[in-house]
Structure 1
Amino acid sequence: MVTSTSPTVPPKGTEKNQHHQSPQGTPLVERTGPCSDAAQPTTDQDHELSTSVGDDGICGSTCRQVVVTDQLPHNIGQILGTFTSSFMAWMCVLGTHLVVMNTWGVINSFGIFQSYYVDTLNQSPSEISWIGSVEIFLLFFIGAFAGRLTDAGFFRPLFLKGGVLVVGGALAVSASNQYWQIFLAQGVCVGHGNGCLFCPVVALVSTYFQRHRSLAMGLGACGSSTGGVLFPIMVRQLLPHIGFQRTIRTIALIQGVSLAISFLCLRPRIAPRKRGKLIESTAFKELEYCFWGTYLTFFYISTYSRDIQDISYISSLNLLLIVNGVGTVGRKLPNIIADRYGTLTIFIPRAAVSSLLMFAWIAVLSVDGLCVWAAICGIPIGGIQSMFPSALVTLTTDPRQQGTRIGMVFTVVSFGVLTGPPSEGGLISALGGRFIAAQLFAGASLLLVMLLLVATRETKRRKMGLGPL
């Protein structure tokens, strides 16, 4: 037997209390019973209650309060989504920090290899510097291809390839004892791996932030200081006890573990852009000259302290630690300020100060003076490294093109880093070991950077309207 049911008829006088909504679309509280005469808008307290039933109303009779929660799941979803996005964004910063530690941290520590290779391989400083220059060249040059592949959705395969090349290259260095072997392992293999890691990570982290983008990228860039302090300390402590091979293998182990953690932290946020140009002709490209002069300090300060100031190899590493250690302040603080006043506005005076310090290096004649100079110089030089990617990102309006545009500029920059340190090494050799020509070259290059940045900022300001850049 089929029993039919009729819809329940609401009590008389309650029809007007149902299905009400405020003019603004605010969900209403439906009250049934004699204690409610009209629907009332929900409050924050109502939303916290969700749905509640009370049997003892104000009037003493049964009163049931039902919160219409049409917007409640949406609001909770927004809150959870915001929390998740924020968590993932800062995890991405952590992953970026670890990647930069294993790429730029090792590059900034090249002074430990420069001095060691000059002694053990019987090569000139200029020839040894080609190893480090090719390593940085490939990091930037591969950027055009790695950046476009990142935009197309191939971030994770690129990262895996880069991690394998970096760790494998370090292990190959530990087994090498000739110049050409180290050149291929450290210069070509590790450099190629760095290129597959750095540009994609910079493009990825920039898509997570709008308001605090410079701060986030600055914290990521501090990884170069972390690696620049960690790896020289490891070499200084381990090399005399376990030798070069085991020291490099220990470094490779640290790199492998930290890159694995980084891989878990990094996750693409923007939908892939399958089609697009490999080269964006409008990309910002006036910063490449800064890398002509920037790496004189990181490559040659250890050699300078040994040849000119006559201190030991282990003691010379302390100067590299000073430059990289104080660079943490130089990488973090300016990026905090840049979010408010503009990246280029902060970048310009740092380039000017770096230029003056390169010229001032000529007047440093004692070990104590060199330590003081290194402590001061590390701050603006570190800022140039950390603010360079931020400056590029601020001039790219479409986040889907970040990888392509950053990669293109990195490719242009690669020729500056390829020719800079070897040119400075050639100037040192040509003057019989004197550094004055290389110091003048570095200072003049950074001065040129400042002038180009001023012109670029004004040009972009006119095109984009007044505002911080």
Structure 2
Amino acid sequence: MGSDKEGSVREIPAPQLSDNDESVVVEEAPLLEPPPDGGAGWVQVFVGHLALFNTFGWFNSYGIFQDYYTSELNLPLSAVSWTGSVQVFLLALIGMFSGRLFDAGYYRSLIAVGSALQLVAIFTASAATEYWQLFLAQGVCGGLGAGILYCPVIACVATYFARRRALAIALVTSGGATGGTVFPLLAQQLPARVGFPWTMRCMGFVVLFNAALMLLFARTRLPPRPRGPLVEWAAFRELPYAFYTVGAFFLLWGVYLIYNYINHFGRTVLGMDRDSALTTLFVANAVGVPGRIGPALVSDAWLGPFRTLVPLAAGAGALYLGWAGVRDAGALYAFAALSGTVNGGVQSIALAGLPALTPDLRKVGTRSGMVMTVGSVACFTGPPIAGALVDAAAGSYLYMQVWAGGLMFVSAAFVAAAWFAHEGRQRRQE
């Protein structure tokens, strides 16, 4: 079955119920063919991998730009971190809108518009000379472009898989790790030869190539759902979904801090040179590929997304606390490898858990976008709070490390609550 509002659609007749009528407790979905769990779905996994390469691969490399901006523009770390946090904030904030548009059938249009905004952001940022220009280009424009892309590609892949869903989403999210490996590698090798502005433009050409491939292969599986509310408020009355949303909020507050700060920590606290410090970011991103795939295989085969995510989030919290004991470059490399692996698993399994809370996959874009929009506040405030804690401690990272570790433990607790509530609801329905 193929569908896309921009192409031919073969719909199976569905009962005509109003999505806006909150008095309807159960909406009967049309009879749809089961997900293929492979086949054409792997093509969409490839598309999603490229999308995450362009979005989170770029965001996970923000430590490159943060270090450059603090040294070249002489701005405090807490100020520069706002650009990075605004990117992720906007990505998450507009997930509610882009997710609903995906459900309505505008998938390829979203890819085209989101990619165009990303390219405008990268090429204009490469020519910027003042901080406000970087903020508007890289922070605002880049964040909007990424937000238009992110939620729809995750939702699309989820509709193609059931039994192998965690693995499929892990392969998609590993695009953030591969992009987060390629971009720092370019930043390490090119500036001495072509300068930092042209290094950014070279990164932009990589994004352009990926965007062209995405547009060529992107397809949806389910018929569009043109009618329906932007927000399904009834979902928040479901305990598993509500607990999971709170857990995702705390997770998003802390999980990405390693990518923003690890190379800055190496350079300013341990006295490493710029290239060596940048290598720690490279390591943290590179190990995220096996870090995502391993837990996904465990989730699909034995534990499921909830029981896999709880120990991963708790492990991420323990590693953040352990970061306080890092005293030399060797220990920082080890921390980068361990934390990058665990945080990679956290990111992939967190996304795999959302479709499990959506009985009607026609609403997966809307409900996933709602969680992302709630989490946008965490994305917006997390890096600046971390930077402010470092500044308040006169350059020491201890306050930030304790804060980040606590966030991940709280996240694990709420995900565990969502798991128990979900299991209880399933037992009552049997």
Considering the TM-score relative to the shorter chain, is it more than 0.5? Answer: yes
Calculate the TM-score normalised by the size of structure 1: 0.80
Q: Does 2:48 align with 1:96?
A: yes
One-letter amino acid of the structure 2 residue matched with residue 162 of structure 1: G
Partner of 1:307: 268
One-letter amino acid of the structure 1 residue matched with residue 357 of structure 2: L
Supply the distance in 2 between the matched residues of 1:393 and 1:206 (Cα, whole angstroms).
7
Q: Does 2:258 align with 1:297?
A: yes
Count of matched residue pairs: 387
Q: CA deviation at 1:464?
A: 2.0
Supply the distance in 1 between the matched residues of 2:311 and 2:218 (Cα, whole angstroms).
33
Q: Is the 8 A contact 2:38 2:161 kept in 1?
A: no
Distance 1:372 1:200, change over 3 A: same
The answer to which structure has the higher helix fraction is 2
Match of 1:198 among 150, 153, 156: 150
Supply the distance in 2 between the matched residues of 1:158 and 1:447 (Cα, whole angstroms).
35
Supply the distance in 2 between the matched residues of 1:205 and 1:465 (Cα, whole angstroms).
28
Could you tell me which runs of 5 or more consecutive residues in structure 2 were left unpaired when the two chains were aligned. Answer: 1-32
Partner of 1:394: 356
Q: CA deviation at 1:86?
A: 4.1
Q: Is the 8 A contact 2:90 2:144 kept in 1?
A: yes
1:268-317: CA deviation from partner (whole Å, max 9, x where unpaired):
11101011111122153121111111122110111110111111112111
Supply the distance in 2 between the matched residues of 1:466 and 1:96 (Cα, whole angstroms).
36
Supply the distance in 1 between the matched residues of 2:276 and 2:313 (Cα, whole angstroms).
29
Equivalence map 1:92-171=2 (5 Å): 92-171=44-123
Q: More displaced, 370-379 or 278-287?
A: 278-287
1:436-465: CA deviation from partner (whole Å, max 9, x where unpaired):
000010000001011111111101111122
One-letter amino acid of the structure 2 residue matched with residue 330 of structure 1: G
Supply the distance in 2 between the matched residues of 1:447 and 1:321 (Cα, whole angstroms).
26
Equivalence map 1:176-191=2 (5 Å): 176-191=128-143
One-letter amino acid of the structure 2 residue matched with residue 172 of structure 1: T
Q: CA deviation at 1:466?
A: 8.4
Q: Per the alignment, in what secondary structure is the counterpart of residue 283 of structure 2? A: helix
Q: Is the 8 A contact 2:117 2:142 kept in 1?
A: yes
Supply the distance in 2 between the matched residues of 1:199 and 1:171 (Cα, whole angstroms).
24
Q: Is the 8 A contact 2:35 2:161 kept in 1?
A: no
Partner of 1:437: 399
One-letter amino acid of the structure 2 residue matched with residue 345 of structure 1: R
Equivalence map 1:44-443=2 (5 Å): 86-281=38-233, 282-283=235-236, 284=241, 285-286=245-246, 287-340=248-301, 341-443=303-405
Q: More displaced, 423-432 or 277-286?
A: 277-286
Q: Is the 8 A contact 1:88 1:265 kept in 2?
A: no
Q: Per the alignment, in what secondary structure is the counterpart of residue 292 of structure 1? A: helix
Percent identity at matched positions?
38
Q: CA deviation at 1:108?
A: 0.7
Distance 1:163 1:408, change over 3 A: same
Q: More displaced, 83-92 or 122-131?
A: 83-92
CA RMSD of aligned residues (A): 1.7
1:90-118: CA deviation from partner (whole Å, max 9, x where unpaired):
10000000000000001111111111110
Q: CA deviation at 1:87?
A: 3.2
Partner of 1:455: 417
Q: CA deviation at 1:224?
A: 0.8
One-letter amino acid of the structure 2 residue matched with residue 159 of structure 1: I
Q: CA deviation at 1:85?
A: 8.7
Q: Per the alignment, in what secondary structure is the counterpart of residue 222 of structure 1? A: helix
Supply the distance in 2 between the matched residues of 1:405 and 1:124 (Cα, whole angstroms).
38
Q: Is the 8 A contact 2:266 2:329 kept in 1?
A: yes
Q: Is the 8 A contact 1:150 1:403 kept in 2?
A: yes
Calculate the TM-score normalised by the size of structure 2: 0.88
Q: Per the alignment, in what secondary structure is the counterpart of residue 137 of structure 2? A: helix
Q: Is the 8 A contact 1:235 1:247 kept in 2?
A: yes
Partner of 1:46: none
Supply the distance in 1 between the matched residues of 2:256 and 2:152 (Cα, whole angstroms).
23
One-letter amino acid of the structure 2 residue matched with residue 427 of structure 1: L
Supply the distance in 2 between the matched residues of 1:129 and 1:85 (Cα, whole angstroms).
40
Supply the distance in 1 between the matched residues of 2:37 and 2:353 (Cα, whole angstroms).
24
Could you tell me which runs of 5 or more consecutive residues in structure 1 were left unpaired when the two chains were aligned. Answer: 1-80
